[in-house]
Amino acid sequence: QSVLTQPPSVSGAPGQRVTISCTGSSSNIGAGYDVHWYQQLPGTAPKLLIYGNNNRPSGVPDRFSGSKSGTSASLAISGLQTEDEADYYCQSFDSSLSASRVFGGGTKLTVL
Amino acid sequence: QVQLVESGGGVVQPGRSLRLSCAASGFTFSSYGMHWVRQAPGKGLEWVAIIWYDGTNKYYADSVRGRFTISRDNSKNTLYLQMNSLRAEDTAVYYCARDIRDGYYFDCWGQGTLVTVSS
């Protein structure tokens, strides 16, 4: 049982826009801690995709965007491409746990 | 460029010990906190432990506290994870990751090393 809740799967056709939700609580996202997103392509290590709710590291296309409101956050991917098919994880900090970084359970994106 | 390379994984019997290493390069290792994060087969990511840049503070997930020890040698640019009293549920790919303290996130990850606990 993950501290942050994500849908297990989402799907979309090439060119479409999809969103992935991440729901937390008053001890993590709702407490004002930032949300970060990671992309994990099949068989590879996770890669930082979005940090600080809506910031993209260098090299990440602007098709990826993030937002946060209240106890939830969302990752949006526009102009879907086949290479976007991957697992996506949200992550935050939880003040109820010692120095604990917490993850969502992950969302499998399928590009139809 | 920043590089993190884990090693030390393998097959180990329940109750035995294993030590993982993570060799860092391309950045000033002694300036960054470091983490271990694991991923059981077919499952999601689980944070395991953090050590501050100077080794003065260490924190652990409840699932490993008292059995795992995180440490570092800044003179060797290397992070370690000593895993004792291993259980089947510790079977996972173990990643080391660099900490960004201001935002509580991981900006760089290694490729991971697989630990399998099985008799």
Could you tell me if B46 and A101 are in contact, meaning their C-beta atoms sit under 8 angstroms apart? no
The tens digit of pLDDT for each residue in A3-56 reads 999 999 999 999 999 999 999 999 999 999 999 999 999 999 999 999 999 999
Contact call for B44 and A34, based on CB within 8 A: no
Q: Which of A77, A38, A83, A40 is nearest to A57 (CA)?
A: A38
- Using the beta-carbon criterion (under 8 Å), do A45 and B112 form an inter-chain contact? yes
Interface subset of A 15-34, CB within 8 angstroms of B: 33-34
Q: Under an 8 A CB cutoff, do B105 and A105 touch?
A: no
Q: Which mean pLDDT values do the consecutive 10-residue runs of chain B (119 residues) have?
A: 97 98 97 97 96 94 96 98 98 97 90 97
Sequence-separated (6 or more) residues with CB below 8 Å from residue B107? A48, A51, A57, B98, B100
For residue A99, what pLDDT band results from cuts at 50, 70 and 90?
A: low
What kind and span of H or E run contains A72? Answer: strand A72-77
Pairing between β-strand A9-12 and β-strand A107-111 as defined by DSSP bridges: parallel
